[in-house]
Structure 1
Amino acid sequence: MTSAVATGTPTSQRRIAFATIIGTTIEWYDFFIYATSAGLVFAQLFFEPAGKDIALLLSLATVGISFLFRPLGAFLAGHFGDVLGRRTMLVITLVLMGVATTLIGVLPTFAQIGIAAPILLLLLRVLQGLSAGGEWGGAVLMAVEHAPADRRGRAGSWPQLGVPLGFLLASGMTALMTGVISPGAAYLEWGWRVPFLLSVVLIFVGFVIRRSVEESPVFAEIAERGKQKQVPIIALFRRHWHLVILAALVFVGNGTLGYMTTGGFLNNYAIAEQGLDRTVVLVAAAFAALVWFCSTLFAGYLADVIGRRNTFLIGFALQALVAFPIFWLVNTGGLLGLYMALVLISTGLGLTYGPLAAWYSEIFPASIRFSGVSITYAVGAVLGGAFAPMISQMLLESTGTTAAVSWYLLLTTLLGAAATLCLRDRSGIPLGPDHEAEQARGATIFTPYESVREPVAQH
């Protein structure tokens, strides 16, 4: 029997693209609406008795704490995704995220139920972290494993687009609530709840769309042959632990800078330190999400032309160049400076995010691929984005200057670039179960290159 290959029609490819984009957009809308609210209102509503500065740190910390549970979500979803299938886990994680987000929208505040309020808030955020940890791997494998070998970069960018779109939707909804529907005190009283409650509708739409997509052809062939690993996580760490570490460090270089905006730090800094209007800042964040969307999409196409690795290196070079200027612009340029800073951040982010799905998928063997990509992504998120907003806030408060934050961003960017140089580009490597031996060798510069096929040429 020949190995599974993607032979879907253009119509089926478009359906898969639509399903992965819509699903990840909804998932990340739910995740980012929390991060946006953490920087704007949660300090006042759930942590105010701790004092203004400590309350903000605690609020931002809840954004990061959820990341600690993303590896657990990745372990669970990776195991069952490699055993039961990609599509099943996509539906489960979508529903879990939606339920947690909706419940946050009806959660009483500290003034109403006391210490139980922040505890319940944290528990629901943990459920969001579990869902986010498991969702990404399934979405990218559904896209990449359905795609022709010479189009995996652009196919892998489809679920990646859900992140900037989710951030755009979250920022836009919050801006609408703060500036039009519930300005001023009304936003603190009830307006912040509306974006969370909207998740009920979005989850229903996403559920229907994801249920309509066929299972990945790679997993379908694995299941047909009965080649599922009984405990894929053990096989992953026994033979490929070094890949998990290196690939996770690649994502650290992207995630730390990314959570300057999506984690709420830069938004809160522009409002609290520079005195910019809250709604105006949220509109700027929404604009940045559009730039991030475009650069991510472009990076997916670029990765099919010049390779995943080269695209990453270009993106990391840009990130390193802007680590200091972004704060100079915000500190001296007012609203225009904020827009310029966000454009610089979003361009570099897209170049180091668009190729990620294809590269991760081509690193790990078929039978443990869901576990590999999910756990790697979750570990990278913990080491990179999880506490980046809180660390940045602590650096700002302890030094009184953003220079320390810029050094932090530069060092993590260089770390990501170094890890990128340790991995090989594997564009076009067969993804099916017949090629597991080839997939298991040659992913790093420390192993023989002869085991890796030449990249598939662009047609």
Structure 2
Amino acid sequence: MIISMEHGDPRRRGFNASWPQVGVPAGYVLATALLAVLSATMSDAAFLSWGWRVPFLLSGLLVLVGFWVRRRITESPEFADVANTGAKAKMPLLEVLREHPRALISAFTARIGVDVAFYTFTAYILVYLKDPLGLDRSVGLNAVLIGSALQLVLMPAFGALSDRLGRRTVYLGGVVAAAIWAFAFFPLLETKSFPMIALATVVALVAHAAMYGPQAAFIAELFSTRLRYSGASMGYQVAGIVGGALAPIIALKLFDAFQTTVAVSVYVVIALAVTAFGLAIAPSAHDVEPARVPLQA
């Protein structure tokens, strides 16, 4: 993401950095389509026994592609300038903690709600539709597939919009939309009508795209070039564990405990409030590195 952003036009950082983000819906389109095919052609017993492993085994091929790409790509001009001047950080993790504590907290909290909303809208939906609603697994998979396909276009579009309106403006718009939709999402699922389920999923993923599209540039611009890779990685990856990895588990526990999806919706809104807090405390990109940041960032 950082390489994509720094290699491109500095006036289009949001658009450039959004393209690696497209990997998420692209992966969902590939994975969900494959799961849908497997689910439709296999018995439940076979799918649970070994069928679900097929997409994971195939994903190993992507590791080789990623390795090949990374070996051939050059460092960005911005980082090359830092390296040539001898300003590279010797202990980057410690320097991030010392020089960018506010930015690190902002990066961490800004991602929490995005991941909680995303995994609730795309992973927990599959569990909820099958049990307790009793619908076939393919219903949820197909709804997610439609929404993910739409995100392939929306994420770069929202990234480009953030170049014009500002990262926080577009990002916060997605936060508000997702928070509101969290309470409409489950009632639409409960209609058991596929058009309504697809509508619930598509609108949810549109709101997610408004957050995820500008997220890459937003987080990267919180840190100076010399510490950007370490700072962005620390905030981004740790938040992924706390937010994304735990979200479906927490949603399941909440529904089991309260027997209502309102509890799950409240959980999503609380997580999105954490993200709004992260956006509010973020230092200005111009304060971090004024010489390198375009006016609209």
TM-score w.r.t. length of structure 1: 0.61
| Cα drift, residue 425 of structure 1 | 5.0
Per-residue deviation, 1:222: 2.4
Aligned length: 297
2:38 to 177, 184, 192: 177
| 1:387 CA drift (Å) | 1.0
Is the contact between residue 222 and residue 367 of structure 1 (CA under 8 Å) also seen in structure 2?
A: yes
Residue 117 of structure 1 corresponds to none
Aligned residue for 1:370? 229
Which residue number corresponds to residue 2 of structure 2?
141
Q: One-letter code of the match for 2:96?
A: L
What's 1:359 paired with?
218
Instruction: Provide closer, same or farther for how the CA distance between residues 239 and 202 of structure 1 changes in structure 2, counting only shifts above 3 A.
Output: closer
CA RMSD between the two structures: 2.1
Q: In the alignment, does 2:23 pair up with 1:162?
A: yes
Gaps of 5+ in 2: none
For residues 106-125 of structure 1, give each alpha carbon's deviation from its aligned partner in whole angstroms, at most 9, with x where no partner exists. xxxxxxxxxxxxxxxxxxxx
Matches of 2:78 and 2:253, distance apart in 1: 46
Deviates more, 1:268-277 or 1:291-300: 291-300
CA distance in 1, matches of 2:85, 2:173: 41
Give me the whole-angstrom Cα distance separating, in 2, the residues matched to 1:454 and 1:232: 21
Alignment deviations for residues 236-286 of structure 1 (CA, whole Å, 9 cap, x no partner): 111211211122111112111011144x21111111111111123212221
Residue 248 of structure 2: which of 384, 389, 412 is its match?
A: 389
Q: 1:272 to 1:457 in 2, by over 3 A?
A: closer
Q: Is the 8 A contact 1:276 1:335 kept in 2?
A: no
Give the one of 326, 340, 343 matched to 2:202: 343
Q: Which has the larger radius of gyration?
A: 1
**What is the CA distance between 1:410 and its match in structure 2?**
1.2
Percent identity of the aligned residues?
35
Deviation at 1:454, TM superposition (A): 8.2
Letter in 1 for 2:133: Q
Q: 1:372/1:454 Cα in 2 relative to 1: closer, same or farther (>3 Å)?
A: closer
SS at match of 2:273: helix
Structure 2 counterpart of 1:439: 288
What is aligned with 1:217?
77
> Helix, strand or coil: the match of 1:158?
helix
Tell me, in whole angstroms, the C-alpha distance in 2 between the residues paired with 1:302 and 1:179: 39
In 1, Cα distance between equivalents of 2:66 and 2:106: 33
Report the Cα offset of residue 396 of structure 1. Answer: 0.2
The answer to whether the Cα contact below 8 Å between 2:165 and 2:296 also exists between their aligned partners in 1 is no
8 Å Cα contact 2:102/2:281 also seen in 1: no
1:226 alignment partner, SS class: coil
Q: C-alpha offsets along residues 402-459 of structure 1, whole Å, 9 cap, x if unaligned?
A: 0111111112212212321222553xx5xxxxxxxx526xxxxxxxxxx79984369x
Provide the C-alpha distance between the structure 2 equivalents of 1:319 and 1:325, rounded to a whole number of angstroms.
10
Q: SS of the counterpart of 1:363?
A: coil
Letter in 2 for 1:251: R
C-alpha contact 2:19 2:156 (8 A) present in aligned 1: yes
Aligned residue identity for 2:98? R
Q: 1:234 aligns with which of 94, 103, 127?
A: 94
- Structure 1 residue 190 and structure 2 residue 39: aligned? no
In 1, the alpha carbon distance for the partners of 2:242 and 2:47 equals 33
1:255 aligns with 115
**Which of the pair has the greater relative contact order for Cα pairs under 8 Å at 6+ separation?**
2
Within the candidate set 179, 185, 188, 1:326 is matched to 185
Deviation at 1:185, TM superposition (A): 2.6
1:62-105, CA deviations, whole angstroms, 9 ceiling, x for partnerless residues? Answer: xxxxxxxxxxxxxxxxxxxxxxxxxxxxxxxxxxxxxxxxxxxx
Amino acid at match of 2:2: L
Q: 2: CA distance between counterparts of 1:214 and 1:453?
A: 20
Does the Cα contact within 8 Å between 1:274 and 1:334 map onto a contact in 2? Answer: no
How far is 1:293 from its partner? 2.6
**Paired AA for residue 125 in structure 2:** L
CA gap of 1:208–1:168, structure 2 versus 1, over 3 A, is: same
- Quick check: 1:285 aligned with 2:134? no
* SS in structure 2 of the partner of residue 352 of structure 1: helix
- d(CA) in 1 for partners of 2:293, 2:17: 20
Return the alpha-carbon distance in structure 1 between the equivalents of residues 175 and 160 of structure 2.
17
Query: Against the structure 1 CA distance between its residues 206 and 236, is the aligned structure 2 distance closer, same or farther, given a 3 Å change threshold?
Result: closer
CA contact (8 A) 1:161 1:296 kept: yes
Deviation digits for residues 211-242 of structure 1 (CA, Å, limit 9, x no counterpart) = 33222222222223332211111111112112
Q: Which amino acid aligns with 1:395?
A: L
